[in-house]
Every structure is written in structure tokens, then in C-alpha cells.
């Protein structure tokens, strides 16, 4: 039994009734130790008192300098609130939520260890609310991200309290890679040389040596160079791999701007970044590279399909 909330609770939260009730119950277990007379009514309604209680909890327990009065699914506040309880205790809280246990009885069972910290709790049984889509320009043949990887992305979305993510890059064929490099080199050759390592520079040299030729010929020559390099296991870009290798290792970019446009006010760049970092630590993500501040503005990560259980 793992406690989980589906959506955010508190200030500007989505405040689903069941979620609010759980947070009120958890907060009461904490409040009860210090000011039993000020317990919240666990009615599933999020008003000023509940938000204030979250804020006080964030200030006094989490020591946040700028408490936001909000609990996000698997965020720091929720993590601390639930990690104070053992699985056995969580069962009791769930019973209370289901009206199978009274407050008095619940309190006699529970004695939360406020300082307890630990790994995030992920619940994978309900992801209907979260959407992972491809950017419109990604052809069907390149929409190869496995269901497992999508689930992992949804875990991050849930953690960040965001509803959607847009995949902006997956597999890239040598021809596409050559076209991108040609286009960029035409704009500013030296900037591209600066940006690529040795393998990329080899491809750019083909552009330079053949710049007098027509566009299609140059792209074709660059494509051939990329293929030759791939044969010696040298990749111009991490995305530029064969479909077979892609299926073994999903290489994914989630675009910052595309995701922001679908999430609207629920977009939280830092929270999503932190969620991906947590998933890297937990082994769900093989490698994570923060490219949100680079010109391509994306979260880049690699996932080995079915590596870990997501149940």
C-alpha cells in the first residue's frame, strides 16, 4: 500500500477531493503532536486553513524559505509527509480515509517521524490524466518511443504536477542529420564546428570541402560520411542511430517550449527537471542531460525499455 495523490493540493492546486482529504489527514497527524486543538476538518475541501497548514508545515519541517502552500504529487512536501509513515501506518491512514477508522484510533496508532526522508513513492496505476505526445513534425516511422519509456515520462509529469509532455526528437536518420547540419552550417559554419566534437567536425569538413556543389549533392555526401562513421561506431549525434539500436535504448528530447505551450499554467520547468533527475537516480532513466538552457531548449534523456519495474 502506497499513499499517493493524483494532482496538486493547496494554493493554486487542482484540489481533487480525495487528494485534499489525504493531505488534511496527513497534516493532522503532524499537527496533533503540537496543537491538537487546531486539527483540520478532513472534508476534502481546500480552503485557507488547509493552505495555511501546508505553508506552516513547509516552513517548520521542510525549512523552505519561500513556502508555496502547495503539495505536488511526489514533490518534496508530499514525500516528507508520507515518508514519515511505515507501510503499516499508511494502511491505517487509508482505512481512515475509507471511514473504517476513527481519528482517535488512528492517532493512537501513528507517531510520524517528522524528519524521515527517503526515495520517492511512485504509483503507476493511474496515468489517464497525463499525456505524452510527439511534435507534429516527427514522422510515424520515428515515433518509436516504447510504452515503458512513456510511462517513465508520465512518472516525471506526475511528480512535477504537469499534465503533458511533447517529444521533439527521437530517432534521426543520417539524411535528416545531414540536412540539419547543412542548414546550420550554411548559417554559421564556425559556430557549428565549435558546437560539435570530432565526429561532427568530420561531417562538417565534407560540407566545407564541397560547399561549391549544389545543396542535394552536399547533403548526400554528408549523409554518406555519417553512415561511414556509424559503421565504425561513431555517432554524429546521439539521436542518429539505427532503428534497431533505438529500440534497445530510447533517446528522447522533450521540448521546453512545446511542452510549455501544451501545459499552460501547469508548466513547471524546475519541478520537471528535478523529477527527471530523481528518475535517473532511481535507475528508470539511464542518462539525463539538461539542455534546457541551450539553444535547442530540451530535456534529453535515454531509457532502456523494461529495465525496471514501473508497477
Partner 1 sequence: MIKRYLTCCLVILFSVANVEASQCTYQDKDLTDSLSKLDNVISVASEKQVPHPTTEKALKHVVIFKGGDVAIIEQKNCVIFNLSINMLASEDTSEEVIVKRLSDLIQVTPVISKYFENTNFNNDINTNIKKGNFNLTQNNVFELNLTDEIPGGNVETEMAFVYTPNSSMYALYSRSIAFYLGAGMHN
Interface of this chain with partner 1, residues 232 to 251, rule: CB under 8 A: 232-235, 237-239, 251
Q: Does 287 bind partner 1 (CB under 8 A)?
A: yes
| Separation of alpha carbons 287 and 293, rounded Å | 18
Beta carbon nearer to partner 1, 83 or 180? 180
Residue of the chain from 151, 225, 268, 300 that contacts partner 1 (CB under 8 A): 300
Kindly state the helix (H) or strand (E) to which residue 132 belongs, with its residue range: strand 131-134
Beta carbon nearer to partner 1, 35 or 295? 295
Q: Does 169 bind partner 1 (CB under 8 A)?
A: yes
Residue 16: CB atoms within 10 A of its CB come to 17
Q: How far is CA 122 from CA 2, 154, 216, in A?
A: 8, 11, 49
| Separation of alpha carbons 121 and 85, rounded Å | 12
Q: Does 59 bind partner 1 (CB under 8 A)?
A: no
Beta carbon nearer to partner 1, 71 or 254? 254
Q: Does 186 bind partner 1 (CB under 8 A)?
A: no
20: phi > 0 → left, psi -120 to 50 → alpha, else beta; which?
alpha
Long-range (24+ apart) CB contacts under 8 A made by 188-194 are none
User: Interface with partner 1 by CB under 8 A: which range of 32-40, 156-164, 193-201, 212-220?
Assistant: 193-201
Residue of the chain from 85, 107, 196, 272 that contacts partner 1 (CB under 8 A): 196
Q: Which residues pair with 289 in a beta bridge?
A: 300
308 Cβ contact list (under 8 Å, min separation 6): 282, 283, 284
Cβ at position 97, least distance to partner 1 in Å = 39
Q: Does 61 bind partner 1 (CB under 8 A)?
A: no
Q: Are 112 and 27 spatial neighbours (Cβ–Cβ below 8 Å)?
A: no
Q: Does 212 bind partner 1 (CB under 8 A)?
A: no
Q: Does 227 bind partner 1 (CB under 8 A)?
A: no
Residue of the chain from 126, 211, 296, 306 that contacts partner 1 (CB under 8 A): 296
Cβ at position 143, least distance to partner 1 in Å = 18
**Minimal CA–CA distance to 70: which of 80, 83, 85, 58?**
58
Beta carbon nearer to partner 1, 84 or 226? 226
Beta carbon nearer to partner 1, 128 or 197? 197
Q: Does 78 bind partner 1 (CB under 8 A)?
A: no
3-class SS shares of the chain: helix, strand, coil, % to 5: 50, 10, 40
Binding site for partner 1 (CB under 8 A): 169, 190-191, 193-200, 232-235, 237-239, 251, 253, 280, 287-291, 294-296, 298, 300
Amino acid at each position: 500500500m502506497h499513499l499517493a495523490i493524483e494532482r496538486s493540493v493547496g494554493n493554486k492546486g487542482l484540489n481533487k477531493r480525495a487528494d485534499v482529504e489525504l493531505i488534511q489527514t496527513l497534516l493532522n497527524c503532524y499537527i496533533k503532536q503540537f496543537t491538537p486543538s487546531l486539527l483540520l476538518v478532513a472534508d476534502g475541501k481546500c480552503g485557507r486553513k488547509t493552505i495555511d497548514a501546508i505553508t506552516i508545515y513547509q516552513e517548520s519541517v521542510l525549512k523552505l524559505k519561500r513556502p508555496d502552500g502547495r503539495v505536488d504529487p511526489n514533490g518534496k512536501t508530499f514525500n516528507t509527509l508520507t515518508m514519515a509513515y511505515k507501510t503499516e501506518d499508511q494502511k491505517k491512514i487509508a482505512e481512515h480515509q475509507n471511514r473504517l477508522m476513527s481519528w482517535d484510533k488512528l492517532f493512537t496508532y501513528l507517531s510520524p517521524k517528522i524528519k524521515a526522508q527517503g526515495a520517492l513513492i511512485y504509483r503507476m496505476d493511474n496515468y489517464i490524466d497525463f499525456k505524452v505526445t510527439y511534435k507534429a513534425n516527427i514522422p510515424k516511422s520515428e515515433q518509436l518511443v516504447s510504452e515503458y519509456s512513456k510511462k517513465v515520462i508520465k512518472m516525471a509529469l506526475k511528480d512535477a504536477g504537469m499534465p503533458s509532455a511533447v517529444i521533439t526528437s527521437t530517432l534521426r536518420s543520417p539524411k535528416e542529420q545531414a540536412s540539419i547540419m547543412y542548414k546550420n552550417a550554411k548559417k554559421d559554419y564556425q559556430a557549428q564546428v565549435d558546437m560539435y566534437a570530432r565526429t561532427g567536425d568530420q561531417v562538417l569538413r565534407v560540407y566545407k570541402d564541397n560547399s561549391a556543389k549544389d545543396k542535394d549533392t552536399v547533403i548526400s555526401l554528408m549523409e554518406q560520411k555519417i553512415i561511414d562513421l556509424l559503421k565504425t561506431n561513431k555517432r554524429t549525434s546521439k539521436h542518429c542511430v539505427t532503428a534497431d539500436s533505438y529500440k534497445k535504448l530510447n533517446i528522447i528530447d522533450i521540448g521546453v517550449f512545446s511542452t510549455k505551450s501544451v501545459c499552460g499554467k501547469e508548466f513547471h520547468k524546475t519541478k520537471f527537471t528535478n523529477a527527471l533527475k530523481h528518475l535517473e537516480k532511481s535507475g528508470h532513466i539511464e542518462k539525463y542531460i539538461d539542455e534546457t538552457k541551450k539553444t535547442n531548449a530540451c530535456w534529453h534523456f535515454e531509457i532502456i525499455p523494461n529495465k525496471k519495474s514501473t508497477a
